[in-house]
Amino acid sequence: MTSLKIPATEIVNKLKKYVDIAVEKTVYKNATILDPRIKAQFFKNQRNWKQIRDSFNYEAERFNRHAEETTQSSDDDGTDWTNQIFKRRKISDISAEIKGYLQEDTIARHDCPISYWKCESKTYASLAAMAKTYFAIPSTSVPSERAFSKGRLILHHTRSSMSPEKLRALMCLSDWYHHNLI
């Protein structure tokens, strides 16, 4: 048992190193804040919270839906009677949207963040678009690395003149076969 202690410690240290590197990347910070189960809880006690928040706000501006909304609604009289009847919240700008989202309670740990954003897409239109983009990013490069490895097995140095279409077809057939789709 003691012979496994040193390798296990090394594995844990390596994982901590990777987590520390990942946490420093803006994409992971923003995805964490956009997870309604976590929001800003992970970062609020860190000394660079203001910098993280400013970076998030800056990135959220790219998804701002309120600029479009203002130009489209400038022709009407300014009252949306359906929102008044159903008492829907109408958020006027991206900073108010971010503030409203962060002030709400987090959702339960087992709840689905994607379902949350689907339900809240009217209230937090800009943040929902941002979440849709960020949650589509794979958290690791394993699938692409696996595809390159399979491709290299198929496209051996003796088959270097194979066309891209044939390579793609063989990779698809291989994948379909391993997933019992053919």
Q: Is residue 97 part of a domain?
A: yes
Q: Provide the pLDDT for residue 79.
A: 54
**Is 100 part of any domain?**
yes
Q: How many domains does the chain have?
A: 2
Please provide the size of the chain in residues. Answer: 182
Mark whether 149 and 125 lie in a shared domain: no
pLDDT of residue 71: 45
Q: How big is the CA angle at 35 (ends 34 and 40), to the nearest 5 degrees?
A: 70
Asked if residue 120 and residue 55 are part of one domain, the reply reads yes
Tokens of 28: 């992971």
Is 81 within a domain? Answer: no
Task: Evaluate whether residue 35 is within a structural domain.
Answer: yes
Query: What are the tens digits of pLDDT across the range 125-151?
Result: 999 999 999 998 876 777 777 877 887
Q: Are residues 121 and 167 in the same domain?
A: no
Round to whole Å and give the CA distance between 154 and 171: 8
Quick one: pLDDT band at residue 83, thresholds 50, 70, 90? low
8 & 57 share domain: yes
Task: Give the domain extent around 29.
Answer: 2-75+87-135
Q: Which of 112, 136, 100 is nearest to 37 (CA)?
A: 112
In the structure, what pLDDT confidence band is assigned to residue 111 with cuts at 50, 70 and 90? Answer: very high
171 in the same domain as 105: no
pLDDT at 93 over 80: yes
130 and 48 both lie in a single domain: yes
Contact call for residues 28 and 55 (beta carbons, < 8 A): no
Same domain membership, residue 40 and residue 25: yes
In a domain, 80, yes or no: no
What is the value of pTM for the model shown? 0.61
Considering only residues 81 and 132, tell me which one the structure prediction assigns the higher pLDDT.
Answer: 132
Name the band, by pLDDT with cuts 50, 70 and 90, for residue 74. Answer: very low
